[in-house]
Amino acid sequence: MTPQKTIYITVYLLLLIPTLSIALVTRIFSLKVMMLDGFSSNIIFLITCILCAVLYLIFKTTIDGYILPFLCKCSKIQLAVAESVTKEVTKQEPKQEANLPSYQKHYDAVAEKKRIEAEETLQRVLDYTMSELVHDMNESDMMTLCNYIKEFQFGIAADIAQTTTQRIRLTSDIKIIDLYHFGWNIGTQYKKSGLEIAQFLKNVFAEKLYDTEVTTIVRKLRMSGTCRIKIKPEI
């Protein structure tokens, strides 16, 4: 037996049992109280069953045809009113403004990022300097050169002339073109102009470039020729 048939049987039994009970009580009442004969009592029993069935059909038709649609219509109206009120309240509610980010927090974050990037760039330039010029000067001059490079990172090349009291002495026959390329390679890491790079080289390697003008250095920073130090976009 399918579940659907079981439901139908259950519904009909729920309707049949009360109907038969009412009809049976009516028959007993007609026999015992009204003193009617058995045939008349059976007729009353059948009439009672028919009346119960008719009353059920009238009740069901009234419920399904009038009361339920009316209640559904009322429910829809109430729901529409509720939605309208909700939308109106939502419109009237002030919109929450977005929280503005903390200026100081972002300022500090950007400053810290720039500081870290500057330290990484400086370390990369110093490592490059050591690897390229370690055989061209003694340890003392190398340390002095590294200090000048630190000042060059954030300073103005023209002002370094006032601090370069100790000249760098080269112990090898490194070519001027190599110094040009070296200056260009480290200067571009600091985003320096050609003039700033030339002034830095002129001040730091004054003995090697004593008879070379700054304007000449600017023009020859990337000159081609036989050299040991090559032009490098990144170091």
- 167 or 96, greater pLDDT: 167
The sign of the torsion formed by the CA atoms of 207, 208, 211, 215 equals negative
Write out pLDDT tens, residues 92-128: 555 556 677 788 888 889 999 999 999 999 999 999 9
pTM: 0.55
- Cα end-to-end span (Å), the chain: 86
pLDDT grade for 26, boundaries at 50, 70 and 90: confident
The domain spans of the chain are 3-92, 119-220
C-alpha 137: how far from chain center? 53
pLDDT score, position 219: 95
- CA 69/CA 30 separation, integer angstroms: 41
Instruction: Report the pLDDT averaged over residues 144-159.
Output: 82
Q: How many CB atoms lie within 10 A of CB 219?
A: 13
Contact 202, 214 (CB under 8 A): yes
**Tokens representing residue 180 in the block:** 């040009």
Cβ contact 203:146 at 8 Å = no
Higher-scoring residue by pLDDT: 123, 41: 123
Long-range contact set of residues 187-191: C-beta below 8 Å, sequence gap at least 24:
187/152, 188/233, 189/121, 189/124, 189/125, 189/235, 190/121, 190/125, 190/152, 190/153
Q: In b/e form, how buried is each residue of 184-197, taking b as 16+ CB within 10 angstroms?
A: bbbbbbbebebebb
Residue 230 backbone phi and psi in degrees, to 5: -95, 155
- Name the band, by pLDDT with cuts 50, 70 and 90, for residue 163: low
Structural element, H or E, at residue 217: helix 214-220
User: Contact at 8 Å (CB) between 146 and 196?
Assistant: no
Under the banding of pLDDT at 50, 70 and 90, the label for residue 57 is confident
